Amino acid sequence: MKTIYFILVAVLAMSFTFTACNDEDPFSTATASDDPRILDPIFPDRVNGELPVVANISRDANLTMELTVTPADYTAISWQIDGVEVQTGTSLDINLKAGTYNFKVIVSTEAGKSTYREGIVQVNPLAEDPWATEVGFERIIAPGISARLYGNNLDNVTSIIIDGISITNIVYVASEDNSYIEYEVPADLAEGEHRVILVDNENNEYGGNTVKVTYTALITSGADRTNSNREWVMTGINLDQIASLTFAGQTITEFIRQSGTEIAITCPQLDDGDYQLTGVTQGGADLQFYLDKKVVTEQTVTVSSTTVLWQGHHYVSWDLPDSSPNKTFNLIGSDVFASLKAGAVLSIHYSVAAEAAYHQLRTTTGWWNDLPDTSVIEFSTDGVKEVPLTQEVLDKIQAESGFLCVGHGYYVDLVTVQ
């Protein structure tokens, strides 16, 4: 019996020992030399190489996130917005003005190892906020030039701030679909990408997304089409820096005229077809071209025997005041039409202004009278309007102060005659 008693006592003691061990807190087996890993949250994968949107919030809500990492005891966490550290630690809680931001969180260990997650944060304005949208190449700017910002509620904006510089000489132009503010870019603005802050008359600040300041020559219009052995005009910014152009294998260093916003050359004698255009600036950098919302260093140009009367990207809207140059398109003089012969066909290449809800094009005289045998067109896609130049049409243009394209919600991009 004593033997059984002692066995029972021993078993009972061992059970207390095991129970005490199980009640202890678990301990980590991770070490400082382990590779860091972000366990939570999981960011979406890139789509076609583009960063995913990891947060979509209103500007009155904070961007918040909690990170779970390993080895937790040996890591440092850095939260970055547009490449600038804004917070450290396992959690993020920050307020951002409206705009699109590059977001990145970096986890690094004492041993020098690191990993990261990145994506896009979209912060949306409230309905009553001043806000600047992106229409075309207006957010690529050069110091010292006049620039624009399109958007909503911009009539409340009294100044804008770019890279800490306050700009007060702004002008608001109203339109039903395409209102904008025009401002002078500071001459000493640093090259690079800068956030825009919109300031109202009560000194409230709102996000306006970003602009890119460049000192490099950039052609924005006129480089996609020309005529053989004719004057060829291209427009853009910093074009006074162009040292040479190479077109169809020929290097051109003599220009008809050159300024910060325009360069004109004589197109070489070439057969109709497509040719490549490049250029070099005085500092040895590649000339840049704005093409399909991207900046490239080579442009394909169509040489055509069709005569180009005008080329560019001119907005037209009847909503604008009479003093606005974009009330109509009137950039081809009566003297040009005086040189044309009856039987030619005028082709007006137009593109829709995506922000406009309605699109209409009319061709008239300078007195806003419709040209004979022409129609008003309404459209929702880019296209070409052809106008037969009868003698009656040509006479009416001369008698009534010239030629206009009127209507609403479109750009005139090219006018040719054949």
Find the helix or strand (DSSP H, E) in which 244 lies: strand 242-247
Classify 343 in phi/psi space as left (phi over 0), alpha (psi -120 to 50) or beta. Answer: left
CA–CA gap between residue 333 and residue 397 (Å, rounded): 10
Beta strands in 163-226, from DSSP E residues, in sequence order:
165-167, 170-173, 180-184, 192-200, 205-213, 218-221, 225-226
What pLDDT shows up at residue 111? 87
SS3 146: strand
Handedness of CA 386, 391, 396, 397 (dihedral sign): positive
pLDDT of residue 298: 97
Domain spans of the chain, in order of start: 37-124, 131-213, 218-303, 307-417
CATH number of 131-213: 2.60.40
Q: What is the pTM of this model?
A: 0.70
CA 296, 237, 132 angle in degrees (round to 5)? 85
Q: What number does CATH give the domain 218-303?
A: 2.60.40.10
DSSP assignments along 29-68, one per residue? ---TTSPPEEEESPPPPPBTTBPPEEEEEETTS-EEEE-E
pLDDT at 26: 52
For each of the chain's 418 residues, which pLDDT tens digit applies? 445 544 444 444 444 444 444 445 455 567 777 889 999 998 998 888 899 999 999 999 999 999 999 998 889 999 999 999 999 999 999 999 999 999 999 999 988 899 999 999 999 999 999 999 988 889 999 999 999 999 999 999 999 999 999 999 999 998 766 789 999 999 999 999 999 999 999 999 999 999 999 999 999 988 988 888 888 999 999 999 999 999 999 999 999 999 999 999 999 999 999 999 999 999 999 999 998 888 999 999 999 888 889 988 999 999 999 889 999 999 999 999 998 999 999 999 999 998 899 999 999 999 999 999 888 999 999 999 999 999 999 999 999 999 999 999 999 999 999 8
Distance CA 361, CA 358 (A): 10
Same CATH fold, 218-303 and 37-124?
yes
Supply the CATH classification number for the domain 37-124: 2.60.40.10
> What's the token pair of residue 145?
């030039």
Given strand 114-124, what is the order of strands in its sheet? 53-58, 114-124, 99-109, 75-81, 84-88
Residue 245 to residue 298: CA distance in whole angstroms: 11
